[in-house]
Structures are given as C-alpha cells and as structure tokens.
Amino acid sequence: MPEGDSVWKLARRLDRQLAGHTVVRSDFRTPALATRDLSGREVLGHDTHGKHLLTRFGPMAGSPGATLHSHLRMDGSWSTLAPGKRLPGAVQPHVRLVLGLDDGRTVHGIRLHDLALVPTDREGDLVGHLGPDPLRDDWDAEEAVRRLRRDPTTPLVTALLDQRAMAGLGNLWVNELAFLSGVSPWTAIGDVDVAHLVDRAARMLRHSATVEGAYQVTTGSSARGDDHWVTGRQRQGCRRCGGPVSVSAEVPGDAANRRTWWCRACQPGPGPEARVGAGPGVRPRAGAGRPRRSSRSSTGRP
C-alpha cells in the first residue's frame, strides 16, 4: 500500500499534469457522488496529509472552492491520457472518476477509496484526525512525540502505524525504523528515545520523497535486494549481520498488526507474542522465527 512519500510524489506529478487546467466534463462512478459535477472548475493543485490525497478545485459563481479527498489503499491509481487514448478494457470497470480537461486530455481515478467532495474550508472534517506529517509545511515534531508517548506501553511498530499519532509512515518505514533503532518491533514505545525516533523518521520520509533515486531506499543502496535492511529479506538474511530475518504474519483486517520483519540478533526484545491484542486468536505464523524458503513476498505496505 502506498505510504506518505508515495502519495506526496503522486501529488507533485498530478500538479505538473493538471494544475491550471479547467474541468470540462466530470463523471463520478460511485453512488455517494454520482450526481456531483466539477465541470467549469479549475484544478488549483494537490495537497497530502499522510496517505490521503486532496485535490483542490477553484470556486464557481455561487459555489466556494471544493476539495476531492481520495485514498489509494493497496490498489488505487491515477492515470492521465492524451486526447484519443483509452484505458484498457479490463481496467474500465474499476474507474471511479473521470475528468475531461480543457486541452482534450482525460484523467481517470482507478480503484480510488474513501472518495469525498467537500468545500475546501471543510477539509478538516476528512483529515483533521490525522497526526503531524513530516511532508507538510505545518509539521510539528513535538506534537508527534507527544502523541506517540500517550501510551508508553504500545509496541513501537503499532505506535508508528497509528496515523493519528504521526501521519505518513507505513509498514516499510516502521520495520526499517525498528531495525535502525536496534530494538524489537514490539518494544514498548516508552522504552525508546521517541524524539530521536521521530527525527529519524521525518528525515527518512523527506529524503525518500524529494531526492532523486532515493525513493523508499533505507540502506543508501538502491540496488534491488540491497535497498532495505530487513523488510522482505527473509531469503537473503539481515543486511547488517547476515543472520536470519524472521517474519510475523499480519493479522487480517488489523491495522495495528501488519506483516513484520526483524533480525533477532540485531533487534533484541520481545517477540510477536507482545503485539497488541495477542492472545489465543492472535498467533504468529508457524515458522515465523526462522527464514522462509518460499519466494520473496511483497512488503505489504499500508
């Protein structure tokens, strides 16, 4: 699933493609917005808050500026096509939004989730619950630290995945941050230097979003298979010590317990039995403590 840096980069691409153009036709293919029309509105630009994309449109006579909210989750995407071009037929059933622009291009929102259209001055209704985001101008590191410290017993990986505490971090980043902190992913957040953790997370997310060739590279090497310390490395082993990388399966439907990678040698501390909600119905996958022999899995990024 795209993380905060993914959505930020998407927003910059959409700015280059759409900002300054006027919508001449709009077609929402979702029941809640089926009767809404953006025709005649200028695309002003895009903003992000964590993993949420905000597309802003100019006002019209008698109507204030509007903001379209969307979330990509695992499978969402945006596509801008030149005049006369069409999406493949297999993709058409998954289109949730079509915008025709004044230069003949067509914009498609594919498999978009959580679509909502509100007056721009009410964006807070949709994203006001989110924590500080390092990629925003209003980034507040002290507030992120305060929110993360609210419950010092929360496992580190769970605390960092909570978008209400700090927005934009997904599964890749929290796994790599736990490794770089030298602690088990299930170490209580109150047992680490939270201020240092937040500073490192913010620097890594900004670097990934803004530096050419650095996108989601956590090791300094962009070579395939060498770009992460532990995430996805259950076959190759820990990049630092060469020992086995363990992996604990996600709990389906539980955002607090995603798939987790860690090196037991480099990251001492509690195991998956300490994760939130652990009990008879929540168990690590059999063999989670040793490297898998199957093909490399996806990162399962939230």
Active-site residues: which are they? 2-3, 51, 259
Q: Is 223 exposed, middle or buried (0-12, 13-18, 19+ CB in 10 A)?
A: exposed
Mark out the alpha helices in 154-238 (DSSP H runs).
Answer: 156-161, 171-181, 194-210
Across 261-279, b (16+ Cβ under 10 Å) vs e yields bbbbebbebebbebbbebe
Beta strand 246-248 with 95-101: parallel, antiparallel or unpaired? unpaired
Single-letter residue type at 63: S
On the CB side of 100, CA atoms within 13 Å amount to 12
Across 142-152, b (16+ Cβ under 10 Å) vs e yields eebbebbeeee
Sign (positive/negative) of CA torsion 221, 226, 232, 238? negative
